[in-house]
Amino acid sequence: MAVNSYLKLGQKPDKTDIVSVLKIVPAKGIILKECVQEIAGESSVGTWTEIKTLDKKTFDKLAAKVIYINEKTGIVKIAYPIKLFEKGNISQLWSTIAGNIFSMKKIKDLKILDITFPDVYVNSYLGPQFGIEGVRKAYGIKNRPIVGCIIKPKVGLSAKETGKLAYDVFVNGADFIKDDETLTDMEFCPFEDRIREIVKATKKAEKITGKKKIFAFNISAPTDEMKKRARFVKKTGGKCIMIDVFTCGLSAVQDIRSDRYGLIIHGHRAGHSAFTDDVSMLAYSKFCRLAGIDELHTGTVVGKMEGTKKEVIEINKFLTGRWGKIKPVMPVASGGLHPGLSFQLVKILGKNLIVNFGGGIHGHPDGSGAGAKAALQSIEAASKGISLNTYARKHEELKKALKHFKK
Amino acid sequence: MAVNSYLKLGQKPDKTDIVSVLKIVPAKGIILKECVQEIAGESSVGTWTEIKTLDKKTFDKLAAKVIYINEKTGIVKIAYPIKLFEKGNISQLWSTIAGNIFSMKKIKDLKILDITFPDVYVNSYLGPQFGIEGVRKAYGIKNRPIVGCIIKPKVGLSAKETGKLAYDVFVNGADFIKDDETLTDMEFCPFEDRIREIVKATKKAEKITGKKKIFAFNISAPTDEMKKRARFVKKTGGKCIMIDVFTCGLSAVQDIRSDRYGLIIHGHRAGHSAFTDDVSMLAYSKFCRLAGIDELHTGTVVGKMEGTKKEVIEINKFLTGRWGKIKPVMPVASGGLHPGLSFQLVKILGKNLIVNFGGGIHGHPDGSGAGAKAALQSIEAASKGISLNTYARKHEELKKALKHFKK
């Protein structure tokens, strides 16, 4: 069988095909057409040599089709028949279209820019349990971004100290607080103690303010341990769990989701940048939505972490839009944010957003409580379209924050 | 607190520190010293700004220490106090030392070359259940590499066809066969049917040959589903399961390992290359050994997949050597191999190896059975230090393979 039969340039993908968009830089001396055929083979029915065990029937049914090649840009499209995939299984999807193809000697550089899925495949997943609507309902907030806060220092506070800090930040304006991604069950801050202290602090803050407050407890661990921790959060009265989705892996996330704890799943993406050089965050965020994350970190544009404006807008647009029957995901902006950036941030990314402040709250000259007030003030101003400087005239904490973080 | 207190150049790490070796290329206009301090901060107690909640006691106890900087090569070493880590939790380790640091705008390029661990940390993990000794015992093979075969085509055969092919390959010489990494529970080849057919074929081949034969069943899926599949393999009489470790994630692997099914865990690494650009395969293979993989794909040097000679030798040396109290891992060479490469392969990588042939068996001019014979012959020759051409004089299948795959 001639190898070039993977080439179906100009052919329309079937309605049920999964289509991958890739950018390829071939290795020296290799032409693009050769690369992309090898990719189509390796990711469907082929291998590096002709084999006796592959017949025409199998090839016609299961071979990937190269439907587009742009010699100038190196961008190609490959359409995969849906029969190549096990429904509802992200690791199988990932191993197929984003697996061995990255290891081939003939390719110098390869990035998966996007993957599109037919509804019949999307709908084989649970997706988020709460989604944006459920998340907003849990916070009781309709028309502005959620004001979030990250406990800082990342690590080092005891359970009692964390509870105290959480109370201070909640009562002064934060809607949401999260554990740091590196904080799990630590000697200096045992998981169960922390949950107990924080749930107490949360309930107290809710009573005082009359508003809903949510804390995301980082349950990242081996899957079974994650489940134990999720059950403990539920039992103790928590409403949200956090998972380091990339470092735990999506098999764990899918499993936690399918257990239906009735807890919002907050997805932190620590470590993703070591991967999303080669598979775009847009494609990875599709995996996360399938897996059932309710709130996902996607970039800040204006903060300390990478991610271009175009890229983050595109991801957030995907997460908040319609996709088969599965619910939309609330995007989270987190990393290097402070009140002085809120106006710009909301202008770029809109109101369907959790805005997380860490140093931007705890670094306030008057401490974390004042920081939380300033953060909320900045988000209120931004949501009403009032400039921060104008709003700061009547809001002392914001005024101080703007002055301090400008330095 | 002055930011430069992360710098402890020339200081020896504590015996219980975890030490990370990184290669950094700073972003334009940023100096290396600034980058590495930001990394030390972000991966321990710091953030992008000074915060009110971080006191000296916490800093002294938990801050990472930059102990080495080489301005010329960009190589730096960071020592992390063990208190920063939850024992036995890979995702927490990963999020800490290989998490957000990849996303920082001040860094143009960053690669974690290696991570070294104190025994007290290593020993908090289960590690492999079988290890090299247990694996060799299961195969009943002492002094040569294990001859493995990958079912090809990757996908498309029915359960019955797969069973038939497995029998043919087993009876003709293969010790080991594995599912392809993209084959899980498929419409055209349901998981349970496949297991039943293959276990039958394996037992028949064992009876005919009087030798032990092992098939690795790919159970990759959401964690709970993986467990169901592992239990089914055990119940049906299988001896080995395969996991796509990177695409499933190590939380799932740790959990499967801790369930102690008494099944060898074969670790496929599909997709790793999208990640190991930034975190070396050496470092990732340490994660996999902690998690409890018995057999791990590490590269072929001579085959179709990437991985330099130096790199693969270093990884295999680590996997097969002593490491705290946890067992060594059997390295697997897989991808683009054929009998003509066996001598060179064993010379480079030694006999503690599973050598997987896919196209190198099924592409044999006389079919898969002859291919399996040729594969075994090539490994026998290589193990005895006899040149392949010499051995081929009395071994027809090898002779044909050498001629065919040279083309």
What kind of fold does domain B131-405 have according to CATH? Answer: TIM Barrel (3.20.20)
Asked if residues B151 and A45 have their Cβ atoms less than 8 Å apart, the reply is no
Nearest to B335 by CA among B168, B91, B111, B152: B152
Check residue A302 and give its pLDDT.
86
Domains B3-122 and B131-405 share a fold: no
Query: Which DSSP string do the residues of A48-101 spell out, in sequence order?
Result: SS--TT--HHHHHHH--EEEEE-TTT-EEEEEE-GGGS-TT-HHHHHHHHTTGG
Tokens of B244: 């796509």
Instruction: Classify strands B295-297 and A18-26 as parallel, antiparallel or unpaired.
Output: unpaired
Instruction: Please tell me the distance in Å from A73's CA to the nearest CA on chain B.
Output: 20
Instruction: Exactly one of A268, A364, A395, A399 is catalytic; name it.
Output: A268
With 50 as the cut, is the pLDDT of residue B1 above it? no
Q: What's the alpha-carbon Rg for chain B, to the nearest Å? A: 23
pLDDT averaged over every residue in chain A? 95
- CA gap A403, A290 in Å, rounded: 43
Report, as residue numbers or ranges, the catalytic residues of B: 152, 268
* pLDDT above 60: residue A74: yes
Alpha-carbon separation of residue A360 from A214, A390, A398, B129, B175 (angstroms): 19, 20, 11, 47, 60
Non-local (6+) Cβ contacts of A299 within 8 A are A281, A305, A306, A307, A311, A312, A315, A333
Which among B155, B336, B358 has CB closest to A45? Answer: B155
Burial of B71 (0-12, 13-18, 19+ CB in 10 A): exposed
Cα angle A361, A211, A302 (rounded to 5 degrees) comes to 30
pLDDT the model gives residue B2: 47
Q: Which of B286, B324, B351 is nearest to B132 (CA)?
A: B351
> Is the model's pLDDT at B129 over the cut of 80?
yes
Reported as a single tens digit per residue, the pLDDT across A194-221 is 999 999 999 999 999 999 999 999 999 9
What is the pTM assigned to this prediction? Answer: 0.95
Residue type, A263: L
Mean pLDDT over A169-187 rounds to 97
Which residues, listed in sequence order, are joined to residue A79 by a DSSP beta bridge? A19, A65
Distance from first CA to last CA of chain A, Å, rounded?
Answer: 67
- Answer whether B91 sits within 8 Å of A248, measured CB to CB: yes
User: Partners of A75 in the beta sheet?
Assistant: A23
Q: How far apart are CA B201 and CA B160, in angstroms?
A: 10
Tokens of A23: 């950018």
Maximum pairwise Cα distance, chain B: 79
The rounded distance, in Å, linking the Cα atoms of B266 and B241 is 6
Condensed to tens digits (0 to 9), the pLDDT of residues A319-360 reads 999 999 999 999 999 999 999 999 999 999 999 999 999 999
Cis amide bond preceding A128, omega within 30: no
What's residue B3's pLDDT? 45
Disruptive mutation site among B85, B92, B253, B257 for chain A (greatest number of A CBs within 10 Å): B92
Residue % of chain B over a pLDDT of 70: 98
> What's the whole-number mean pLDDT along residues B98-106?
90
Lowest mean pLDDT among A187-196, A282-291, A297-306, B355-364: A297-306
Domain range annotation of chain A: 3-122, 131-405
Determine the distance from the C-alpha atom of residue B205 to the mean position of all C-alpha atoms in its chain, rounded to a whole number: 28
Architecture of the domain made up of A3-122: 2-Layer Sandwich (3.30)
Beta bridge partners of B326: B323
Which amino acid makes up residue B63? A
**Is pLDDT above 50 for B4?**
no
CA of B277: which chain A residue's CA is closest?
Answer: A274
Q: From B94, which residue of chain A is nearest by alpha-carbon distance?
A: A247
* Mean pLDDT calculated for residue range A98-113: 92
| Per-residue model confidence as pLDDT tens digits over A115-154 | 999 999 999 999 999 999 999 999 999 999 999 999 999 8
Non-local CB neighbours of A260 within 8 Å, separated by 6+ positions:
A129
Q: Which residues contact A188 (CB under 8 A, 6 or more apart)?
A: A155, A156, A157, A158, B61, B62, B83
Ordered strands of the A75-80 beta sheet: A65-69, A75-80, A18-26, A107-116
Search chain B and give the residue with CA nearest A222: B251
CA B23 to CA A300: how far, in whole Å? 26
Burial of A14 (0-12, 13-18, 19+ CB in 10 A): middle
Strands A146-150 and A176-178: parallel
- Statement: residue A2 has pLDDT above 70: no
3-class DSSP assignment, residue A15: coil
Distance CA A215, CA A354 (A): 13
Predicted local distance difference test score (pLDDT) of residue B103: 87
B164-218 per-position pLDDT tens digit? 999 999 999 999 999 999 999 999 999 999 999 999 999 999 999 999 999 999 9
Chain A neighbors of B102, CB-CB under 8 A: 271-274
Neighbours of B36 (CB within 10 A): 25
Out of B58, B221, B248, the one facing A156 most closely (by C-beta) is B58
Distance from CA of A381 to the nearest CA of B (A): 24
